[in-house]
Structure 1
Amino acid sequence: MGQDLAPPLLESLLPGTGSKLLTLGNIIVSVVGTGVLGLPFAFRIAGWLAGSLGVTMVGLTTYYCMLLLVLCRQKLASEGSLAEAKTYGDLGYRTLGITGRHLTETLILFSQCGGAIAYILFIGQDLQSVFQDNGFTFTSHAFFLVPIEVGLSSIRSLSALAPSSIFADVCNVLAMGIVVKEDIGQTMTGKFSFEQRTTITSDIKKLPFAGGMAVFCFEGFALTLALESSMQDRAEFPRLLALAFCGVTFLYVLFGFCGYMAYGDETRDIVTLNLQRTWTSSTVKVGLCLGLVFTFPIMVHPVNEIVEGWLKRFKWFKYLHADDNDSTRLGRIGTYVNRAILVTGLVVMASRVPAFGEFASLVGSSVSVLISFVLPATFHLKLFGSSLHMWQKALDFVLVFVGSVFAVYGTYSAIVGV
C-alpha cells in the first residue's frame, strides 16, 4: 500500500539519525505551506480577534493530536506483538483493521490531491496577475503546467526536488515580509483607522468558513510518525514539536492580522494578489510559482503510491510490473500514463474551482479536520480505552464530536460560500 509523504529534508535521513535542529527544521517545512497566504482573507471573514483566537486554537489542537499519534504508536510498540507502525496508514490498520487503513489512506489521498489543486490555483492566479498583459487566462496558465509536471513526476528520487521545496518556503517568508511591510506603510501614513477593521464578524455563520481555511494552513499532519521516528532522541520530540508550533502559530496570527489590517475589505483570498505590481513583488510571485512547480511532484507522490498500490491488486497491472522497480518497459510506460492522467485530472479540477479561499476552506473543513482531529482522538480512545483518565476520555470525545460536526457544517459552509 501507499506510504505517507516524507518531507524533503527527511528524504535523505535514516530512521533515528536526525538531530534536534534538523528535526525542528523538518517540522516547520512540513507544517508551513501555501495556505498561510490565505490567512489574511480568513481574518477578513472572521474578524481580527476571532481570527487570532481561531488560529491559536487550531494550532494548539493540532499539536495535541500529533502527540496522540505518537502515543498510539508507542502503545502498540510496548505490546511487542506487532512491528512498529511506520505510517499513518499502518496506525489505522493496527487500530481499526483493514477498514482503518482504507479510511486513513483515502483521506490522505484526498488531502494530498487538495493540496496539489491548491498549488495549481496559486500558480495560475499569481502568474495571471504578473503577466496580465499577455492575454492568457488562468486556465491557460494552469494547462501550461501539465507537460512540465508530467515530466517532473517521472523523477524517481524526491531528494532531487528537495531544494525547490525549501526555495518555495523562502519565497513564502519573503511574501509574508512584503505584506507586513505594506501594513506598516499603511499604518504610518494613516490610510486606515483601527475601527474600520472588523473585530468579530456579526455573521456567526461565516466562522466555520474561516475555520476551515485555518485548519488547511497546518499541513503535514500525516508526517508526524515519520518526523518522530527520524530523531536520534525520540523523547525530545514533544518539546521540539511544541517549540515549532508556538513559533509557527505566532507567525500565522501575526501574518493574518497584518495582512487584514493592510488591505481590509479588499483583502484577496491569496494575499499576494493584493501586492502592487512592482519589481520586488513580481519577483517574489514568480519565485513562489517556480518553487511550487518543482514541489508539486512531492505533493502528489503519496497519491501516486496509493493509487498504484491499489492497481497492483489487478493481475494485468502486476503483469506489467515484474518487480517494484518497474523493470519492464511496458510497465514504465503504464506508470507514466497513470501519472499523466492524474496530473491532467488535477489541472482540470483546478480550472473548475471558483476561488482559492473557498477551495482551501472546503479541504480544511472536510478532509483535514478528519485527518488532524477526528482520527487521532478515535485511535487514542480505541487503543487506551479504560486506562485513560476521565478528562482524557472527555477531551477525545469532544474532539471526535466537534470535529465531525465541524466537518459536516464546515463543508456545507465552504460549498455555499460566504
Structure 2
Amino acid sequence: MFIVSFPYAVQQGGYWAIVAMVAVAYICCYTGKILVQCLYEEDELNRRQRVRSSYVEVAEEVMGKTLGGRVVNCAQIIELLMTCILYVLLCGDLLDGSFPGLINLSAWIVLSTFFLLPCAFLKTLRSVSWLSFWCTVAHMAINAIIIIYCLTKATEWKFADVQIKIDIWTFPISLGIIVFSYTSQIFLPTLEENLIDRKKFSCMMHATHIAAAVFKAVFSYIGFVTFGHNTEEVITNNLPTQTLKIIVNVILVVKALLSYPLPYFAAVDLIETSFFRGRGVTVFPVCWNEENELKIWAILLRFGLVLLTMCLAIWIPYFAILMSLIGSFTGTMLSFVWPCFFHLRLKWYRLRWYEKAADVVIILIGFIFGGIGIFYSAHALSRAIKGLPVDPQNSPIPVAPKIVKPLP
C-alpha cells in the first residue's frame, strides 16, 4: 500500500534510496528465512520438528516468557496499530488532495473512520482475506494507471533531479519508509505453517522479495523523475488533472479501507491473546461468551481501538515521516535485530562462521539504521509540527535588518 510514497523516498534519498530498496529486500528475505528456521529443532536422527508456532514463542525461548514474549508482543502490536493509523491518515490525505478546500484533513479522517467501524465485528480470517483480495485488485489497477501516465511523460523526465550525495537530514527518512515497507516477519510463521509444501518457503521468499525490490525500485524512480522536486508525499496528488486525481485517489481510498482490516484483526488477536484469556491466565476476562459471540464490552473496546487509530491520525498528520519513524523503531527490531539475535542464540552450534558473521553484521546494521532513523525522523516530525521544512538547510535564512543612519 505504501508504495505510493516511494517516489517521495527517492526525493529524500536520491539514488541511495533505490540502492536501499534492493539491499533491505535482501536483508529482510534472509532474516525472514532464519526466523522460520528458529521455529524448528532437529532430533537425534537430524529430522526437523516444528516445536514453535510464532514469533513470540521464539522470543520466549530465547529471552524468557516474562521479558521476551512481552517485548516482542509490544513491538508487534505497535507495528500493527501504527499501520492502521497510516491507512486512516492516507485516506484523509488522499481525499483532502482530491477535494481541496471542501472540508479539512481532520474531517476527512473522521469520515473515513466511519466506514472502518464494522471491523469491530470481524471474527475470522476468512472475511479478512476476501477484503484483502479486493484490495490487491484495486492496487494493481492503481499501479497500472500511475506507471502508464509516467511513461507518457518519458520525454520530460527530470533525471538531473535525482541526487547522488547523501543528505543526512532526509536520507534516514527514506530509509525508514523502505524498512517499514518490507516488515513482514510478523506474518511469516503463520504463512509458513499454512503452506501446502513447506519446503518451498525459501523459494517463495526469494521470488516475492526479488519481485518487490524490482517493482519498488522501478516504480519509485519513474515516479520521481516524472515530477522531480515537486513530488508529493503521496504521488497520486501529483497527477495533473483534477478528474484523473479524483478517480485514482478514490480507488486508493477504497484500497486503504480494504487494507485496514488485516493489521487491525491481527492487532486485536494479539491483544486478546495477551490480555483477555480469562482471569488467572491473563489480567482481563474472556471476550467471548459460551455461544462464541463477542460480549458487548468487547465490541465497545474494538470500536475504541478503531477510534484510537483515528485520533492518532488526526494528531500526527504527516504520513511519510510517521511511516519512517515506525520503520526505524519497530521495523528494524522486528526485521533486522531480533531474527538474527534469536538465530544466533538457538542455532549457535550448528552455524558456520560466515553465517554467524552475517547475523552479527545485520544486527549492527539494524541498530545503526534504527538509531539514526529514529533521531532524524523524530527531528523531522518535530519540525513538521512546527510548520518548518524537514531539512534545516532549506529553512529560510533570517535577514538582518538594514540599519539606516540618521542624517546629520
TM range (shorter): 0.7 to 0.9
Q: Which moved more, 1:248-257 or 1:390-399?
A: 390-399
Q: 45, 69, 72: which one pairs with 2:38?
A: 72
Closer, same or farther in 2 for the Cα pair 1:129/1:86, shift >3 Å? Answer: same
Q: Which moved more, 1:371-380 or 1:222-231?
A: 222-231
Contact 1:72 1:380 in 2 (8 A): yes
Separation in 1, partners of 2:334, 2:327 = 10
Separation in 1, partners of 2:221, 2:79 = 27
Closer, same or farther in 2 for the Cα pair 1:73/1:319, shift >3 Å? Answer: closer
Q: Which moved more, 1:345-354 or 1:274-283?
A: 274-283
Closer, same or farther in 2 for the Cα pair 1:121/1:86, shift >3 Å? Answer: same
Closer, same or farther in 2 for the Cα pair 1:320/1:292, shift >3 Å? Answer: same
Question: Counterparts in 2 of 1:139-288, with a 5 A limit?
Answer: 139-188=106-155, 191-195=156-160, 197-288=161-252
Asked whether 1:410 is paired with 2:373, we answer yes
2:93 is matched with 125
Separation in 2, partners of 1:36, 1:314 = 40
Separation in 1, partners of 2:279, 2:218 = 54
Q: CA deviation at 1:320?
A: 8.6
Q: Secondary structure at the match of 1:61?
A: helix
Contact 2:142 2:251 in 1 (8 A): no
Amino acid at match of 1:252: K
Separation in 2, partners of 1:228, 1:44 = 36
After superposition, the C-alpha distances for 1:206-245 in whole angstroms (9 at most, x for unaligned) are 3222111111111422111122122222112111210111
Contact 2:40 2:52 in 1 (8 A): no
Q: 349, 352, 356: which one pairs with 2:315?
A: 352
Q: Which moved more, 1:229-238 or 1:56-65?
A: 229-238
2:72 is matched with 104
Closer, same or farther in 2 for the Cα pair 1:182/1:54, shift >3 Å? Answer: same
Q: Secondary structure at the match of 1:85?
A: coil
Contact 1:180 1:255 in 2 (8 A): yes
Amino acid at match of 2:139: N
Contact 1:40 1:271 in 2 (8 A): yes
Q: Secondary structure at the match of 2:186?
A: helix
TM-score by length of 1: 0.83
Amino acid at match of 1:255: F
Q: 309, 320, 330: which one pairs with 1:367?
A: 330
After superposition, the C-alpha distances for 1:32-58 in whole angstroms (9 at most, x for unaligned) are xx22111100001111x2122110000
After superposition, the C-alpha distances for 1:6-55 in whole angstroms (9 at most, x for unaligned) are xxxxxxxxxxxxxxxxxxxxxxxxxxxx22111100001111x2122110
2:403 is matched with none
Q: Secondary structure at the match of 1:258?
A: helix
Contact 1:171 1:284 in 2 (8 A): no
Q: Secondary structure at the match of 1:204?
A: coil
1:89 is matched with 56
Q: Secondary structure at the match of 1:75?
A: strand
Contact 1:45 1:201 in 2 (8 A): no
Asked whether 1:336 is paired with 2:303, we answer no
Separation in 1, partners of 2:274, 2:105 = 33
Q: CA deviation at 1:307?
A: 2.3
- Percent of aligned positions that are identical: 20
Closer, same or farther in 2 for the Cα pair 1:104/1:176, shift >3 Å? Answer: same
2:275 is matched with 311
Q: CA deviation at 1:71?
A: 1.4
Amino acid at match of 1:85: R
Amino acid at match of 2:357: A
Separation in 1, partners of 2:158, 2:222 = 13
Q: CA deviation at 1:170?
A: 2.5
Amino acid at match of 2:259: T
Separation in 2, partners of 1:355, 1:96 = 35
Separation in 2, partners of 1:306, 1:232 = 25
Q: CA deviation at 1:378?
A: 0.5
Closer, same or farther in 2 for the Cα pair 1:367/1:202, shift >3 Å? Answer: closer
Q: CA deviation at 1:319?
A: 11
Question: Would you tell me which structure has more helix in proportion to its own residues?
Answer: 1
Q: Which moved more, 1:71-80 or 1:398-407?
A: 71-80
Contact 1:179 1:258 in 2 (8 A): no
Q: Which moved more, 1:86-95 or 1:325-334?
A: 325-334
Q: CA deviation at 1:344?
A: 1.1
Q: Secondary structure at the match of 1:132?
A: coil
Q: CA deviation at 1:269?
A: 1.1
Q: 47, 50, 58: which one pairs with 2:16?
A: 50
Amino acid at match of 2:159: F
Q: Secondary structure at the match of 2:339?
A: helix
Amino acid at match of 2:366: G
Unaligned runs of at least 5 residues, structure 2: 381-389, 391-408
Amino acid at match of 1:162: S
Closer, same or farther in 2 for the Cα pair 1:161/1:392, shift >3 Å? Answer: closer
2:353 is matched with 390
Separation in 2, partners of 1:320, 1:143 = 30
Amino acid at match of 2:56: G
Q: CA deviation at 1:318?
A: 8.1
Separation in 2, partners of 1:54, 1:242 = 17
Q: CA deviation at 1:183?
A: 2.3
2:259 is matched with 295
1:3 is matched with none
Separation in 1, partners of 2:294, 2:205 = 41
After superposition, the C-alpha distances for 1:239-280 in whole angstroms (9 at most, x for unaligned) are 121011111110010001011111111111111111234544
